Amino acid sequence: MMATEPKKQPTPPYVPYTTFTSFLNGLKKTGIPSHIDRSVMGTMSGSGQSAMIATLKSLRLINVELEPTSELSSLVNGSESDFSTTLNKLVKSTYSFLFDGSIQIENTTSKKVEEKFRNIGASGSTLTKCISFFLAAAKAAGIPVSTHVKAPKIQRKASAKSKDSSKPATSNLDQDQDNSIPSHEDMEKLTVSLPGMDDGYIYFPSGMTDQQSKLAVKMAKFILDNYYGFEQEE
């Protein structure tokens, strides 16, 4: 009889924790729908929607049919105490590999925690995002975690060297400028229709407050009006 392969554990949540809580706050205002699908995720980017659905499934806040569970209702509709209690249970269940006694999460090290996440398939930037979410969720749930545990820095790939040795090397300033360009992952995308042209897009950070959103829109309008000379048609 062939041995049954162990069921692969899903990748733990890797959206920014603030994006997760902002989504829950949105549900608190609108109410929890019958299904948590992409249509209720507003202006999140496609990758952001995928990551959010994966996060909700990993935490068992929705089932495979995208139907909300009682735990989601407790987080959204419960008191602050209910939120903390429910989140505590969800964290310990989702990250059972950290609470199985193999390490002491209260005084372990970053290296040991990274090894645990790597063992279930997290790597690269996803590893950093997974650990960042865990640390934020554990803090909100009142779970003590070693102060030695930090999310690893995202390693940037070095640019390929030119085969032409006569080509001057890229300056440190240019490299810093290249590295400063943010990824669109976990950004909210606003589509701008341009008559006779392809659509344009404006990206904003996910999880902004209403006040921050209004300020961002005001700044975007100011830039378009004053730097690009866009004027509203009469």
Domain limits at 42?
17-140
The amino acid that residue 147 corresponds to is T
Closest to 149 in 3D by CA, of 116, 105, 117, 115: 105
- For 193, other C-beta atoms within 10 Å of its C-beta total 8
- pTM for this one? 0.65
The pair of structure tokens assigned to 177 is: 């400028």
Asked whether residue 96 falls in the same domain as residue 198, the answer is no
Low-confidence stretches of the chain (pLDDT beneath 70): 1-8, 156-201, 203-204, 206-211, 213-214, 218-234
Give domain status of residue 126, yes or no: yes
> Using an 8 Å Cβ cutoff, are 13 and 55 in contact?
yes
Mean pLDDT (the chain) is: 80
Domain tally, the chain: 2
Asked whether residue 124 falls in the same domain as residue 194, the answer is no
Which of 112, 140, 168 represents a domain boundary (last residue)? 140
